[in-house]
């Protein structure tokens, strides 16, 4: 079985995340979409809400398992027997950041490979950070997030 992990905060999940995941799915027999719990970050949505949101978004995808984890991502990969990590790249600065993390992860666990998928041009400006900022000022984010996410953002 060829297993991958798509880790993130998903606070909230965006159409860009969904695009990266949908393009990665054919490469793997199972993909864990996992909320990384980071006590140093202040999230807009609780971990439980993010998990519920992801479950709704990917309800139609039998190859996707929604989970959360704490600690080192490579350790979680070992726990779920993932051999690959999926990472989306929107910009050159994303690449530099993700490359450094991938190199450190490879030093920790050489058998776990990072797969970079470059976002489509129409999604390169979408980030959870920007969506949260729009939400703070009561803006409409419907063009940036999956429809299943909107009810979670209105409460």
Q: Looking at the annotation, which residues are catalytic?
A: 17, 41, 90, 128
Judge contact between 98 and 19, C-beta under 8 A. Answer: no
Main-chain dihedrals φ then ψ at residue 40, nearest 5 degrees? -80, -10
Helix H or strand E encompassing 120: none
130 membership: H or E segment, kind and range:
helix 128-136
> What interhelical angle do 73-80 and 92-108 show, nearest 10?
60
Upstream peptide bond of 12 is cis (omega within 30 degrees of 0): yes
Q: Residue 93 is inside which H or E element, if any? A: helix 92-108
Instruction: Enumerate residues 6+ apart whose C-beta is below 8 A from 14.
Output: 123, 126, 127, 128, 131, 144, 145, 146
């Amino acid at each position: 079985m060829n297993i991958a992990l798509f880790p993130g905060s998903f606070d909230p999940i965006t159409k860009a995340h969904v695009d990266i995941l949908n393009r990665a799915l054919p490469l793997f027999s199972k993909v864990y979409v996992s909320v990384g719990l980071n006590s140093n970050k202040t999230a807009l949505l609780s971990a439980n809400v993010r998990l519920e949101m992801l479950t709704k978004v990917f309800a139609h995808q039998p190859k996707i398992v929604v989970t959360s984890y704490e600690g080192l991502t490579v350790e979680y990969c070992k726990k779920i027997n993932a051999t690959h990590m999926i990472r989306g790249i929107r910009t050159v600065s994303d690449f530099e950041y993700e490359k450094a993390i991938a190199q450190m992860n490879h030093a920790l666990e050489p058998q776990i490979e990072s797969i970079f998928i470059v976002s489509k041009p129409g999604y390169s400006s979408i980030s959870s950070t920007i969506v949260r900022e729009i939400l703070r000022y009561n803006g409409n984010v419907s063009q940036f997030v999956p429809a299943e996410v909107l009810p979670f953002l209105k409460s």
